[in-house]
Structure 1
């Protein structure tokens, strides 16, 4: 089974999942991906999967020639914003799989995208690969049939972060944020909430911040904050496991793989319902707290509750996070994906003619 993946910037967790895919005995894996972004400068060794042919996407790269040379059985494309990828999918004879993590927000742009679906997205893809139910709902609105929506489409690097139940020391007293330092990530809210929280208790926890971006100045000269800048994936698990609770106050977050990895490490999580992963991985007062997006007061109160929890309760929350995290692993992602592809290829047990196939009412938008 020849699989060609067309991706944006690769990350540590994508390296882990793609390596599991490449390890499947029937898979020959080829990957085309963008160079690393300036605010997430993953090194090549930390993001490029082994056991796979790798190509860096540039304006000069002939992706079509690569596709023709490989003649893939399955094509996996990240999103719909890269015109070169979209054109290649339209012309491909492979099973075309669209990975999408967009949530349905009901914006005017999304509604217009649905109307334009039959011309923009419909002719290009056969299957939607999505992380969870919120994304599946959007895929249905874009015209994908239920049988053509594959859930469980994303996993963190579970094994790098995983903790066993009872292994999490509740004595760790430090909040952790990992992510880009942009406004939509809620970092301004985080800085203000941490300032308020620190003024209300005599022995406040510290806050460790991992990431870079245009808003990193909001943490400067804020007592109790340790800003580590961008951290390569291999160095992150020890930092996560050395923390007491994970915080991500995003006002917009399609999924949020870092929530999965924090749960795998056995951390209680404080986040907003705007994070797509919250629907699957955060249960309010069971393994963390859900807060109001954009509210420094709501976040401050959640940090106070976490601070005041008895050690045994905080350990219980961490163990609950670890239990939820087991639902998603790179191994399961790879095995399930190969099985699904195999069933849809000509001659497979669930083969349906995907060349050509009926396409109705599909479209795309930018959230």
Structure 2
């Protein structure tokens, strides 16, 4: 079988999908990438990739036609050249032309316009849409895609990697550290987290660690009661997660948040805001963590205190439940969600 990917960057989940298809499902892969933020290119068997700026859209279209793919997967409709290519392919090939989507429906003016023009734009380019989850499914329906033309599970954590964390070790000595991993930027709601943390007088030995990079990093780096660490690779993060007892994501806006899947697979109880796209898939309130409204310091403080007040056995139970929920989506379910479109 042959597949074409038109993507933006080779981020971990994107590389994982392509690697699984090529090396475990014996696909030959032709890809074009933008290298907008990440210029690295993975080394994968049966895989060839090129910068899309090195060729004209006409030549890329011709190369794909010559390649004779069984399926084409496109990183949404953000790159206008990709949309042009997808439209041409739909009229030239009788194969699925699939768009990724991790975008929620917010009902903004721009999204309403997209919904109105979709029959002449998005739906002319793509036969199917591959969404991350429930909130993205809603937007796909607004765009006019039929239920049978919407497939799920487009985003997956590296389950095998994060399952390496041994949860039994936590049963013997449960670590008391809240962990945040992500950008230091305003939409992440870190001000809310820090304000809530500072109002808790009895932390019962718990600490707070923030990991990542971003424009607001210096703002939090000099606070006495918070540990701040630099961005790390996924493998480096394993040790940090192993030494943590709860993951916190206070985002004000968050289309999906793959890090929630990684935290769940890692067996971390989770506190996160209900705006996160991945939240309904990996967190059940009071079952393996706490779902809260964004921007409300008192809600965040209550959730933190709820975790602090749990005994080690209850925390371990939350940990096991998180891993259970994390297994709802795996690289295998993701790949086979896509493969079901093949003849």
Which TM-score applies when normalising by structure 2?
Answer: 0.91
Report deviation, 1:53. Answer: 2.4
The corresponding residue for 2:258 is 257
Alpha-carbon separation, structure 1, partners of 2:23 and 2:52: 27
Q: Are the aligned partners of 2:151 and 2:337 in contact in 1 as well (CA < 8 Å)?
A: no
Q: Are the aligned partners of 2:101 and 2:129 in contact in 1 as well (CA < 8 Å)?
A: yes
Alignment of 1:41-56 (within 5 A): 44=40, 48=42, 50-56=44-50
Alpha-carbon separation, structure 2, partners of 1:164 and 1:331: 22
Alpha-carbon separation, structure 1, partners of 2:286 and 2:28: 44
The corresponding residue for 2:21 is 21
1:12 aligns with 2:9: no
Q: Are the aligned partners of 1:171 and 1:244 in contact in 2 as well (CA < 8 Å)?
A: yes
Alpha-carbon separation, structure 2, partners of 1:233 and 1:214: 21
Give the 3 Å change call, closer, same or farther, for CA 225–173 of structure 1 in structure 2. same
Report deviation, 1:52. Answer: 4.5
Alpha-carbon separation, structure 2, partners of 1:239 and 1:30: 36
1:124 aligns with 2:125: yes
Of 59, 62, 67, 1:70 maps to 67
The corresponding residue for 2:53 is 59
Q: Are the aligned partners of 2:98 and 2:129 in contact in 1 as well (CA < 8 Å)?
A: yes
Alignment of 1:74-223 (within 5 A): 74-92=71-89, 93=93, 94-162=95-163, 163=165, 166=168, 168-169=170-171, 171-197=174-200, 200-201=201-202, 203-223=204-224
Unaligned runs of 5+ residues in structure 1 are: 343-347, 349-367
Choose 244-253 or 71-80, whichever is displaced more.
71-80
Alignment of 1:235-254 (within 5 A): 235-254=236-255
Alpha-carbon separation, structure 1, partners of 2:138 and 2:43: 31
Report deviation, 1:51. Answer: 2.1
1:271-330 CA distance string (max 9 Å, x none): 011001111110001000011101222112211111111011111001000001111111
Q: Are the aligned partners of 2:23 and 2:44 in contact in 1 as well (CA < 8 Å)?
A: no
Give the 3 Å change call, closer, same or farther, for CA 60–286 of structure 1 in structure 2. same
Q: Are the aligned partners of 2:211 and 2:228 in contact in 1 as well (CA < 8 Å)?
A: yes
1:177-205 CA distance string (max 9 Å, x none): 111121111122222222223xx115442
Alpha-carbon separation, structure 2, partners of 1:55 and 1:209: 35
1:312 aligns with 2:309: no
Give the 3 Å change call, closer, same or farther, for CA 34–180 of structure 1 in structure 2. farther
Q: Are the aligned partners of 2:210 and 2:227 in contact in 1 as well (CA < 8 Å)?
A: yes
1:34-90 CA distance string (max 9 Å, x none): 3262xxx6x83xx72622524353533343354244232211111211111111111
Alpha-carbon separation, structure 2, partners of 1:236 and 1:132: 25
Alpha-carbon separation, structure 1, partners of 2:148 and 2:252: 31
- SS of residue matched to 1:234: helix
1:111-143 CA distance string (max 9 Å, x none): 111111122212100001112122112111111
Report deviation, 1:23. Answer: 2.2
Q: Are the aligned partners of 1:17 and 1:331 in contact in 2 as well (CA < 8 Å)?
A: no
Give the 3 Å change call, closer, same or farther, for CA 311–209 of structure 1 in structure 2. same
Give the 3 Å change call, closer, same or farther, for CA 150–285 of structure 1 in structure 2. same
Q: Are the aligned partners of 1:31 and 1:52 in contact in 2 as well (CA < 8 Å)?
A: no
* Structure number with higher relative contact order (C-alpha < 8 Å, ≥ 6 residues apart): 1
Tell me how large the CA RMSD over aligned residues is: 2.0
Q: Are the aligned partners of 1:3 and 1:30 in contact in 2 as well (CA < 8 Å)?
A: yes
Alpha-carbon separation, structure 1, partners of 2:186 and 2:51: 28
Give the 3 Å change call, closer, same or farther, for CA 275–64 of structure 1 in structure 2. same
